[in-house]
Amino acid sequence: MALRSLFAREARWVRHNAGVLVLVLLVLPSLFAVSTVAFQQVIPRDTPIAVVPESDVVSEDEVDAVTGVAAFFSRPHDYDSRASAERALAREEVYALFVVPHGLFDEDASVTIEMVVEEEMVPYEQPSLAIANILSGQLRGTFPAETTVERTAIGEDRTLSEFLVSVGTILLTMVYAFVYLPRVVADEQRVFQRIRVESSLWRLLTVKYAVFLPLMLVPVVAFQGIAASLDFRVDLFAPGALAATLLTFLSLSAIALGVMFLTRFATVGRMVNATLLFGTLAFSNLVYPAGFFSPMRRTVARLSPIHYAAIVHRGTALKGNAAALYADRYLLLGGFAVGALAFLAGSVVVYQRRA
């Protein structure tokens, strides 16, 4: 009889927590399953690359011919000049550029197509070597001229560990934003009524950010300290990198707190935040270049502001590029943060109205 009663209690628990259970047992595993579909091949075949003429004498047909060959293993984009293509490379709009020489259709000529990649884009190093080799083989006999592919790596050589320090900073920031700050605020929920009488939730949240934004520098110090002790060449305190870290924290934590206020700090809010954290991790292509995975996933990643946060963080902390190169990305991240704060403000208003 006692067992039956306990089963009856569990049945009621299921009924009262149906929403959470759907999220935990259905949505979350589905998200995992979808994300595995996105891992389609070991060597990327859909990576955006730039195709650029070496000089003005290169004909449109020659550019088109190389673009056509490149389309077998990548998604080529035409650029007018090498400078603009290299800018796109630095901004991770493309992950390699192919410089098309003149003379591809000249039987007596011997020409070299230059494939330019960045040393700092460590995960693309091996794939780019493989692509250069495969392409060299494929081009043999394709054009009248004797054609070879030469891979040129620009920038400074970096290890995978150095690359991951930059990515890790963004990843950890996401965990603080989606897990830690919401937990801290949830712990204080029991004092909200008194805060609302004596002060206001707006002031409480303002103070939380005034404290937690500087606190986010502490893990950066820890990362930088470890990196320095290991002789890693990465500057996590580059102003552009710091801005990316703090904007990421500000926007994601505002979303996470907004979810908590909307769900009145219920368990379902934590699960929603866990789902958002996982979704952002899985679909923002933080570690691998867009194009390592399916076209669908590349499209999703290119829609995620956090994808760009990782790019500008790498660009400024790892590659040493000027923050100005990513001005539009910072605007995007700033706009995203403003939108996230507006969401938080709206959810606090709803929370107070429902109270």
Partner 1 sequence: MAAIRFEDVVKRYGDVVALDGVDLTVETGRCHCLLGANGSGKTTLLRLLLGLTRPTEGTVARPAATVGCSFQDPTFYPDLTVAENLDVFGSMAPPPDEGWRARLVGVLGLERVATRPARDLSGGWQKKLDLALAFLKRPTIAVLDEPLDDLDDRSKHRFRTFLADYPDEDHGLLLATHHVDEFAATLDHLTILDRGRVVSDAPVTGGPAARRRYLDLIETGSTSGVSE
Question: Which spans of this chain sit near partner 1 (rule: CB under 8 A)?
Answer: 187-188, 190-191, 193-194, 196-199, 352-353, 355
**Smallest separation, CB 195 to partner 1 (Å):** 8
**Smallest separation, CB 266 to partner 1 (Å):** 17
* Residue 68 vs 346, nearer CB to partner 1: 346
**Smallest separation, CB 169 to partner 1 (Å):** 28
Q: How far apart are CA 37 and CA 92, in angstroms?
A: 24
Helix (H) or strand (E) holding 313: helix 305-313
* Residue 41 vs 199, nearer CB to partner 1: 199
**Smallest separation, CB 188 to partner 1 (Å):** 7
The three-point CA angle 165-169-173 to 5° equals: 165
* Residue 1 vs 197, nearer CB to partner 1: 197
**Smallest separation, CB 260 to partner 1 (Å):** 18
**Smallest separation, CB 183 to partner 1 (Å):** 13
* Residue 266 vs 332, nearer CB to partner 1: 266
Token pair belonging to 113: 């197509």
The three-point CA angle 155-322-333 to 5° equals: 115
* Residue 342 vs 355, nearer CB to partner 1: 355
Whether the Cβ atoms of residue 337 and residue 327 lie closer than 8 Å to each other: no
* Residue 15 vs 194, nearer CB to partner 1: 194
**Smallest separation, CB 351 to partner 1 (Å):** 11
Give burial (CB, 10 Å; 0-12/13-18/19+) of 42: exposed
* Gyration radius from the chain CA atoms: 25
3-state secondary structure of 355: coil
* Residue 41 vs 193, nearer CB to partner 1: 193
* Residue 140 vs 264, nearer CB to partner 1: 264
Token pair belonging to 15: 């009924």
Residue 271 carries which side chain, given as an amino acid letter? M
Report the half-sphere exposure of 27 (CA within 13 A, side-chain side): 16
> Strand 47-53 vs strand 146-154: parallel, antiparallel, or unpaired?
unpaired
Q: Which of 161, 157, 148, 145 is nearest to 61 (CA)?
A: 145
**Smallest separation, CB 196 to partner 1 (Å):** 6
Which residues are CB-contacts of 154 (< 8 A; sequence separation ≥ 6)? 86, 116, 117, 118, 119
Helix (H) or strand (E) holding 142: none
